[in-house]
């Protein structure tokens, strides 16, 4: 119950008179000093105030410090008023609160940690899987000769493998003069041997299996003062087989540059040579296909005086390949070198109008060096092939399917690849496989192609091909194929 009001006189000399009861009790009003600015009389009447609320007892001096943890760190005032900030009921959750920002940051860091750990585990498992996979399934492709050994061909005799290749001065990128830096690069034909098909030995120029070329081809060197001399014949893409006639000699087919000064062999060729100066003023001298014979696959091969295939009006022929059918009939495949007279672009033939580069099939007589009838085209370039198709190689599977391997694209570029097509008859029609057998990127290869294939027995076939190494040379690689139906695939290569 409230007591009766009391009055008290003003204090003197600027001192305040103590209150009774004790003025430290916050329930009672405090008088103002007479020196303070006042709007009312200095005499103050006081009454006992209402009993303070629980909230006032708890945090009247600093209300926000008594907010709950959640309200203090995860909420913002609904109304931007200092008085409203003190009451929990006037605050609501906010994405802009300091607590939410800190919590979200911690969660993001934890999530990144979990993701990082998961990625680490995945990469570790993937690396382990690749290692196990490599151990169980090693690459079927092996680097055999890390030298310039282009357009390799393959032959097996008395358990020795022979690989023959284009002159080593040819086709080195960044070296347009084709100047070989070493003496062992002046052979007309390169030769390498192996006893197991995996480890190869490159023989030097003293073992050149074709020391001289036919009289129809350019014979000597571009400049006798060049050291070492550069072969002008530019002998390319050889192929070796054995005659089906009684003397059983070995035959090497090769392409060399045509000698414009040689005498025409036939009236037809005389007409071709007559138009040659007009045909070639801005193009390289064309190649033709010749043959040479020897008593051993290692040579030396003695060249025949006339070429087997020399379509000068179509800019010559390159990439000879021997094939013997099941009835022992010999054939010669080659490419008409149309891109040699193309209108420019990649490999001289991506500027319209493009020139055809058909792969031809020439039946031969039993001696393997004389044509029997006229050649027939069995495959030609398409728009998807780019400038050309070339480097034919023909085999017949145990199922009686003819497999024609060839390359397309440009040998100087990543577009170069190794493809194949199949047919039931040797003359076709040939149906291309749905995808290349080898292309840039496969097993780390760059511009793979120009393959030679030879039977390894038991339905498998050994294969040699070149691919760019170091951006310049064309090194020799080896692999093994398995033919099933109309499909060719690489299998693990074991020693032959």
DSSP 275-337: HHHHH-TTSPPPEEEEEEEESSTT-PPEEPSS-SB--GGGT-EEEEEEEE-TT--EEEEEEE-
Spell 274-307 as b/e; 16+ CB within 10 A means b. eeeeebbeeeebbbbbbbbbbeebbbbbbbbebb
In whole angstroms, what is the distance from residue 23 CA to residue 35 CA?
Answer: 20
Main-chain dihedrals φ then ψ at residue 77, nearest 5 degrees: -60, 140
User: Which structural domains are found in the chain, ordered by start?
Assistant: 64-93 (no CATH), 142-491 (2.115.10.20)
pLDDT, position 175:
59
Residue 281 confidence (pLDDT): 54
pTM of the shown model: 0.70
CB 465 within 8 A of CB 477: yes
Cβ neighbours of 233 (radius 10 Å): 25
| 354-357, Cβ contacts within 8 angstroms, sequence gap of 24 or more | 354/381, 354/387, 355/315, 356/380, 356/381, 357/381, 357/387, 357/388, 357/389, 357/390
Length of the chain: 496
Q: What is the pLDDT along the chain (496 residues), one digit of tens a residue?
A: 444 444 444 444 444 444 344 444 444 344 444 444 444 444 444 454 444 444 444 444 444 457 777 777 777 777 666 665 556 676 777 777 777 778 888 889 999 989 988 888 877 776 565 445 444 567 899 999 999 999 999 999 999 999 999 988 776 776 554 444 444 457 899 999 999 999 999 998 889 999 999 999 987 655 445 455 555 568 999 999 998 776 789 999 999 988 764 444 444 444 444 334 445 556 778 899 999 999 999 999 999 999 999 998 888 999 999 999 999 999 999 999 999 999 999 999 999 999 999 999 999 999 999 999 999 999 999 999 999 999 999 999 999 999 999 999 999 999 999 999 999 999 999 999 999 999 999 999 999 999 999 999 888 999 999 999 988 899 999 999 999 999 999 999 876 5
Which pLDDT score, from 0 to 100, does residue 448 have? 98
CA-based nearest residue to 297, from 155, 452, 463? 155
For the chain, first and last CA: distance in Å? 119
Q: Where are the beta strands (DSSP E) in 95-229?
A: 142-145, 153-157, 160-165, 190-194, 201-202
pLDDT for the residue numbered 157: 95
Q: Left (φ > 0), alpha (ψ -120 to 50) or beta: where does 158 sit?
A: left
Do the Cβ atoms of 396 and 349 come closer than 8 Å? no
Contact between 397 and 390 under an 8 Å Cβ cutoff? The reply is no
Label residue 478 left, alpha or beta by phi (over 0 means left) and psi (-120 to 50 means alpha). beta
Task: Answer positive or negative: Cα dihedral of 187, 189, 190, 196.
Answer: negative
Q: E-strand spans in 295-440?
A: 302-303, 317-324, 330-336, 359-363, 376-379, 389-396, 402-408, 417-423, 431-432
Q: Provide the pLDDT for residue 452.
A: 98
| Residue 31, CB-side half-sphere exposure with 13 Å CA sphere | 21
The answer to whether residues 144 and 200 touch, using CB atoms and an 8 Å cutoff, is yes
Please name the residues in contact with 330: beta carbons below 8 A apart, sequence gap of 6 or more: 241, 243, 244, 322, 323, 324, 363, 364, 365, 366, 368
């Amino acid at each position: 119950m409230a007591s009766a009001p009391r009055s008290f006189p003003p204090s003197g000399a600027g001192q305040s008179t103590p209150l009774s009861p004790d003025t430290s009790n916050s329930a009672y009003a405090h008088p103002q000093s007479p020196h303070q600015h006042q709007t009312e009389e200095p005499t103050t009447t006081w009454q006992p105030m209402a009993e303070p609320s629980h909230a006032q007892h708890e945090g009247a001096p600093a209300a926000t410090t008594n907010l709950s943890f959640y309200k203090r760190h995860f909420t913002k005032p609904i109304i931007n008023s200092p008085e409203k900030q003190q009451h929990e009921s006037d605050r609501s959750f906010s994405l802009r609160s300091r607590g939410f920002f800190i919590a979200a940051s911690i969660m993001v860091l934890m999530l990144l940690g979990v993701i990082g750990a998961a990625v680490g585990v995945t990469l570790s498992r993937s690396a382990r899987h690749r290692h196990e996979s490599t151990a169980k399934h090693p690459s079927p492709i092996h680097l055999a000769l890390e030298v310039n050994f282009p357009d390799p061909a393959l032959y097996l005799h008395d358990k020795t493998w022979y690989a023959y290749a284009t002159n080593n001065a040819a086709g080195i990128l960044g070296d347009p003069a084709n100047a070989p830096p070493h003496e062992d690069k002046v052979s007309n034909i390169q030769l390498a041997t192996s006893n197991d098909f995996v480890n190869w030995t490159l023989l030097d120029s003293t073992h050149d299996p074709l020391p001289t070329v036919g009289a129809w081809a350019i014979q000597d060197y571009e400049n006798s003062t060049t050291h070492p001399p550069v072969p002008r014949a530019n002998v390319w893409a050889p192929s070796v087989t054995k005659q089906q006639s009684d003397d059983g000699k070995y035959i090497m087919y090769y392409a060399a540059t045509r000698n414009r000064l040689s005498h025409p062999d036939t009236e037809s060729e005389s007409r071709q040579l007559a138009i040659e100066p007009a045909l070639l003023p801005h193009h390289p001298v064309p190649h033709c296909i010749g043959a040479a014979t020897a008593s051993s696959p290692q040579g030396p091969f003695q060249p025949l005086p006339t070429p087997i295939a020399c379509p000068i009006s179509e800019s010559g022929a390159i990439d000879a390949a021997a094939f013997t059918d099941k009835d022992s009939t010999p054939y010669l495949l080659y490419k008409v070198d149309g891109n040699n007279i193309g209108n420019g672009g990649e490999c001289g033939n991506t500027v319209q109008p493009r020139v055809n580069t058909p792969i031809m099939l020439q039946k031969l007589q039993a001696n393997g060096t004389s044509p029997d009838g006229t050649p027939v085209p069995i495959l030609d370039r398409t728009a998807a092939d780019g400038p050309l198709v070339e480097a034919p190689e023909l085999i017949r599977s145990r199922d009686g399917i003819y497999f024609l391997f060839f390359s397309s694209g440009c040998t100087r570029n990543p577009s170069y690849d190794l493809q194949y097509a199949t047919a039931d008859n040797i003359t076709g029609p040939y149906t291309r496989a749905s995808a290349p057998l080898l292309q840039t990127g496969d097993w780390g290869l760059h511009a793979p192609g120009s393959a030679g294939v030879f039977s390894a027995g038991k339905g498998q076939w050994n294969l040699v091909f070149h691919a760019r190494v170091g951006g310049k040379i064309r090194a020799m690689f080896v692999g093994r194929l398995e033919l099933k139906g109309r499909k060719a695939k690489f299998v693990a290569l074991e020693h032959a």
